Amino acid sequence: MDLSRPVEELTEGEAAAELEFLAKEIARHDIAYHTKDAPEISDAEYDALRRRNDVLEASFPHLIRQDSPSKRVGAGVAEGFAKVTHRVPMLSLNNAFSDEDVADFVARGHRFFEKDAGLKLAFTAEPKIDGLSASLRYEKGRFVQGATRGDGEVGEDITANLKTIRDIPQQLQGDGWPDEIEIRGEVYMSHADFEALKARSAAEGGQEYVNPRNTAAGSLRQKDPEITRSRNLKFFAYAWGYTSAPFAETQFEAVRKFGEWGFVINPLMIRTEGIEEMLVQYRRIEEQRATLGYDIDGVVYKLDNLALQQRWGFVARAPRWAIAHKFPAELAWTRLEAIDIQVGRTGALSPVARLQPVTVGGVVVTNATLHNEDYIAGRDSQGNPIRDGKDIRVGDWVQVYRAGDVIPKVADVDLSKRPAESHPYVFPDVCPACGSPAVQEFNEKTGKLDAVRRCTGDLICPAQAVEQLKHFVSRDALDIDGLGEKQIAAFYEDGRIMRPADIFTFAARDARSEKRLKDQDGWGDQSAEKLFAAIEARRQPELDRLIFALGIRHVGEGNAALLARTFGTFGQFEAVAAGAAGGDESARAQLMNIDGIGETVVNSVIRFFSNARNKQAVDDLLRQIAPLEYVVASAGESPVVGKTVVFTGSLEKLTRAEAKAMAERLGAKVAGSVSAKTDLVVAGPGAGSKLKKAEELGIETLDEDGWLELVGAQ
């Protein structure tokens, strides 16, 4: 195939044939390079193939193939960085899993140096950072090349990405550094940055990130260094490779020098005199593990004296003079026995993995989160693979991941152990708590469906009921005196109030009951009477408050007021909403036409009224109450036009903001203090100096009810 012809000359058929050839050819070289470690062509030739592919795709975007090399390995992650052969191999560490293993390690050292009479062996102890190691080459103090560990012998050149890490100096500071030195250490992501990235991604409907380590790895392998920069990776320097001259005599001194040269070194590194101190430091670091703000998975001990390090030497690919004392694993494999769906207080359906009990990081884990249905399916909402696209099935062997005190999660699946008879998990489309439809909402911001499914049985779902009831009586909703969150929780618990309508039938039922409220703990004749009177007083709620009280998703105070103003009566609002729910397009259009109300809100209102049981709950409620009409006196007719009004003291029915908005809507001016210019003072209980001043100045004063009456809102 002639890959040198100008792209403009190609016919569609020729371009398609070339793209097919390139997809196969590049894939073949990727395998030769990455998997077999036996490249057949030079990096430059490989790059030329990819460039040709890119150019063709830019000219013929409709011919981009599913298996295009430009799509592989997830968005933005580059393939085929140049290779870097480490001048000194990057070693790994042998592990110790118990205090005895560490004691054996120290004993081996003493045996090795037996002939050196009276020799004391000192060891450094420092956290083992759970990130990725990198080797940074400095020539005459300038950072010239950075590479991943790779297989220890050959890594990848990620200089451009490493240059974006602020902990890595471009130029070494101080003095005493050899002309050439490879500084080694760990690139990692802090918990704070990981959480922030996750939150950003969730808000944008982006991909899921499993843990800080994998995310740091992905961030380092980006084609675009600006993406790496935005991830705010960090770096601890703790070792070195090739050096053109010796620069220290001990491990401790060497790392101290890294600090002086401008690197960040771990503050928990100490020098110990032997096994007892080593283990004390291990416990100290383990205790701090949860609050460090980054993941560590053990403590590394290194023989301090560099001359002795050299004498003790290496075995296979690890030094004899160092060992990693691992914390009990935070990862474990176990069987997924079932997937349960929990319904949260806001109606979100959350899948929970029921696991064969397994110890993860010293804690027995039986449950883990599965996030949402996309996570189970192995694809995020944009179709990007999660866990390489592996889905999670009941019966699978799954890896459980636990970091600090975070809820454990299922991080991976072992497909080789998947039972033959397993089948993909089907996420329920009805709420397990109440049987109402559970739906994924369309998110206007992201233009995609939300990954989270929600129950639509807002008012009748037992999982949501208590929260809904608390909302119903809350301050900006029905605001019933003496009926707060605590009372609602108790009345729900004992079955007295299960639905909003029950609030208004409470007194009558209580009168017939054998277990009268007044006889219950914490209640008496007076308090029970007072509560019933307060409920009675709210049988004529304001329309906007009532609409808000229903707890329809996305219908907050502002939208409730818009709906109330538009429809005027509850009957009218319900008729249009129910009409739209029944498929009446003109009713839907009526909702959509309301200035300030968007599709998300309209869909949510429709969904609420599409649920027959929600509608039933509303109708039951309406048999008990008589919502007020929403009347707005036109400014011309209002008695307060042009008047200056001051509100003081506490208001019971209106919030301050509402009172102010109401007055302004009616053409009044609202002032903060009383003066000769004030026309009217509305004083609630607790009013002090302002009321006094008004009286002194002979200004008209009203209480809240008087005000509502004056403006025709009562």
Residues forming the site for ligand IVH (CB under 6 A): 91-93, 126, 128-129, 133, 149, 186, 238-239, 300, 319, 322, 324
Closest CB 137 distance from ligand IVH, rounded Å: 16
Indicate the DSSP class of residue 569: S
86/690 with CB nearer ligand IVH: 86
Q: Cβ 319 to ligand IVH, closest distance in Å? A: 5
d(CA 574, CA 629): 13
Torsion on CA atoms 78, 128, 248, 146, rounded to nearest 10: 0
Q: What's the burial of 349, exposed, middle or buried (CB within 10 Å: 0-12/13-18/19+)?
A: buried
For the bound state, the minimum distance from the C-beta of residue 80 to ligand IVH, rounded and expressed in Å, comes to 23
The order of strands in the sheet holding 322-326 is 95-96, 322-326, 296-303, 123-129, 270-272
Length of the chain, in residues = 714
Nearer CB in complex with ligand IVH: 91/591: 91
Nearest-5° Cα angle at 93, 91 to 94? 135
Q: How far is the CB of 149 from ligand IVH (least distance, A)?
A: 6
Q: Which is nearer to ligand IVH, 132 or 398 (CB)?
A: 132
State the minimum distance, in angstroms, from the CB of residue 327 to ligand IVH. 12
Cβ proximity to ligand IVH: between 93 and 681 the closer is 93
Tell whether the torsion through CA atoms of 11, 17, 19 and 25 is positive or negative.
negative
C-alpha distances out from residue 16 to 57, 64, 512, Å: 10, 9, 82
Helix axes 212-220, 191-203, angle to 10 degrees: 80
Give the shortest CB-160-to-ligand IVH separation in angstroms. Answer: 21
> Which is closer to ligand IVH, CB of 186 or CB of 193?
186
Q: By Cβ distance, which residue is nearest to ligand IVH?
A: 133
From 120, 128, 198, 693, the catalytic residue: 128
Q: How many helices (H) and strands (E) does the chain have?
A: 24, 24
Closest approach of ligand IVH to the CB of residue 94, in Å: 8
Helices 99-112/275-288 angle, 10° precision: 140
> Alpha-carbon Rg of the chain, whole angstroms?
35
HSE-CB of 701 using CA atoms within 13 angstroms:
19
Question: Both tokens of residue 654?
Answer: 């209106």
Is 128 tagged catalytic?
yes
Other CB atoms within 10 Å distance of the CB of residue 213:
20
Count of alpha carbons within 13 angstroms of residue 201, beta-carbon side: 19
Q: Name the H helices within 357-483.
A: 373-377, 462-472
For ligand IVH, the closer CB: 162 or 398: 162
Residue 688: which residues within 8 A CB-CB, separation 6 or more? 648, 649
Minimum distance, C-beta of residue 89 to ligand IVH, in the bound complex (Å): 9
d(CA 424, CA 377): 8
Alpha carbons 649 and 692: distance in angstroms, whole number: 12
Residue 554 zone, left/alpha/beta (φ > 0; ψ -120 to 50; rest): left
Least separation in angstroms between residue 376's CB and ligand IVH is: 32
Closer to ligand IVH by CB, 128 or 454: give it.
128
Residue 182 vs 373, nearer CB to ligand IVH: 182
Residue 210 φ/ψ region, left for φ over 0, alpha for ψ in the -120 to 50 degree band, beta for the rest: alpha
Of 319 and 351, which has the nearer Cβ to ligand IVH? 319
- Nearest distance from C-beta of residue 323 to ligand IVH, angstroms: 10
* Distance from C-alpha of 586 to C-alpha of 566, rounded to nearest angstrom: 15
Nearest to 668 by CA among 690, 635, 701: 635
- 367 to 335, 358, 407, 408, 424: CA distances (angstroms): 11, 10, 9, 7, 20
* Angle separating helix axes 12-30 and 43-59, nearest 10 degrees: 150
State how far the Cα of 518 lies from the Cα of 521, in Å rounded to an integer.
Answer: 8
Q: Quick one: 138 or 258, whose CB is closer to ligand IVH?
A: 258
Q: Which is nearer to ligand IVH, 135 or 464 (CB)?
A: 135
The set of catalytic residues is: 128
